[in-house]
Every structure is written in structure tokens, then in C-alpha cells.
Amino acid sequence: MKENVIERNTFFGDPELDADLPKVNEVFWSSLIGHIEQDLRVPPRVILDIGCHTGGLLQRLNQRFSPAEMFGVEPLAVARLEASRRFEGVVPRIWLLDPSEWDRIPSGAVDLVTSHETLYLEANVRDFMKRVRRALSPTGSAYLVLGCHSDNPLWETWKAQMRADGHCVYDHFPFEIMKDASYEGLLPSVQPLRSSGWITYDPLHAKFLNRTEQAPR
Ligand SMILES: C[S@@+](CC[C@H](N)C(=O)[O-])C[C@H]1O[C@@H](n2cnc3c(N)ncnc32)[C@H](O)[C@@H]1O
């Protein structure tokens, strides 16, 4: 198994799957933005997205909230490059950082932290929460979306595929995640991302799982 720090050109090992991420995740990003809209009284001035890939969610957040400054943390250099192209001339201040550059995010500067489906790639949740806590402003909020966790019955299957693709992935337990957040001075709250709506999924044509299986013709 390769470490996540080893340089990859794509997250999924298949450029098509990486390119599909914004389409696949659109419904989840929209729900997330809906929750943020409901919660925040003042639009966030500074936004940080952890695991920003090519900046799709940051783009949606920028369109909705027009922040003064945005940060993205992403280990894939090719994804950061694509994100920087996406934002060229579009946003006044954007910083796309490797995880080794977390220290470049000023302490207490960030009003809104988002992280969509990234925590399962983090070995140390407590350390992750420490970094989030340091970055957050005193009135800031963090929204961490997690489908990949120990309580999801699909996780065992997804996990096997991720490992086959060379990722280091971790079993994080929701209760422990919340405990680690609390240890680091955050107030953990939880709710389902979506409370209605269909998930459209056709196992015969799914690209992520069973890649070697051919759909019948
Ligand atoms: C499943 S993808 C999700 C991408 C994006 N958040 C979305 O919603 O489409 C997980 C992303 O997290 C990134 N990642 C992996 N390890 C990370 C780390 N330690 N810190 C930040 N991002 C990481 C991966 O390179 C990948 O782009």
C-alpha cells in the first residue's frame, strides 16, 4: 500500500473519475451550502476547504458567498494547479496549499471551514481538529462531511476499493471524531447531510466500484 504522500497524478488513479467528481458531488455540495446558508447570519469573509481537489466546492462557495479570501488544502499538485487555473482572475486572494503548508494559514483567520469526504484520509483526527481549531476565527464554524466512516455499512466495500487503489484510509468512528473535536476546543454537532431526495446509483454502470466488471450489452 502506498502512502498518500506519494505523488499521484489523480486521486482515483483514473482521470475520468477525478474529472467526474464535481458532477457526482454537486448534490452533496448543494446540500452542504444549504446548511451553511441556514446557519450563518453573516457571509464568511475567509473560507478554507480541506481536501479541495481541483477547487469545485471552493468555486461554489465563492459564487454563493463572495469571500475576500479563500484557502484550499490539497496534497495533489496537479489538482492544485487545476484549481489555480480555475480561479485565475476570478477571486482576489486564493491560496492553494499542500498539507505541509498548513502553517501558512493565519491563526484565527477563517470564518468558514469545509471538508467534504476527506477525513478518512487523515491518520490523526485529533491533530486534524487541532489544525481546524487554530485556523478558525472565534466565531467561525467548520462543516466536515463524512460518508466514509465506520458506521456506514458501505464503508467496508468502499474501503477495499480505496486500498486497492493505493490509498491509506482510516476507520474513523463518529463518536471518536466528535470526542477529538471536543478535546481540541470545538463544539461538535451532527446531522444528516440530506434528509430527503433520491440517490441515483446504477451498480452496472458505476465507475468507482467493480471497475474490471463490464456492464452487459
Ligand atoms: C474524495 S476526494 C474529495 C474531494 C473534494 N473535497 C470533493 O468534495 O470533491 C478527497 C480529497 O482529499 C485530498 N486529501 C488526501 N489527503 C489529504 C490531506 N491529508 N489533507 C487534505 N486533503 C487531502 C485528496 O487528494 C482528494 O483530493
Give the range among 2-11, 54-63, 152-161, 196-205 with minimum mean pLDDT. 2-11
Q: How confident is the model at residue 1 (pLDDT cuts 50, 70, 90)?
A: very low
Q: Is 152 a member of any domain?
A: yes
The answer to whether position 197 is within a domain reads: no
Atom 12, ligand 1: which residue's CA is nearest? 51
Distance in Å, CA 114 to ligand 1 centroid: 11
Going from the Cα of 212 to the center of ligand 1, the distance in angstroms, rounded, reads: 24
CATH number at residue 64: 3.40.50.150
Determine the distance from the C-alpha atom of residue 5 to the mean position of all C-alpha atoms in its chain, rounded to a whole number.
Answer: 17
pLDDT bracket for residue 211 (50, 70, 90): low
pLDDT at 137: 98
In a domain, 195, yes or no: no
Q: Are 151 and 96 a contacting pair, CB within 8 Å?
A: no
Total domains in the chain come to 1
Task: Give the pLDDT mean for 94-103.
Answer: 98
User: Given the C-alpha cell 466546492, which residue does it identify?
Assistant: 57
Domain of residue 141 covers 15-183
Q: Which residues contact 128 (CB under 8 A, 6 or more apart)?
A: 119, 122, 180
**Which residue has a Cα nearest atom 22 of ligand 1?**
51
pTM: 0.93
The binding-site residues of ligand 1, defined as CB within 6 angstroms of any ligand atom, are 4, 11, 21, 25, 50-51, 53, 56-57, 73-76, 79, 99, 116-118, 121-122
Residues facing 116 on adjacent strands: 145
Nearest protein CA to atom 9 of ligand 1, as residue: 21
117 and 147 in contact (C-beta within 8 Å)?
A: yes
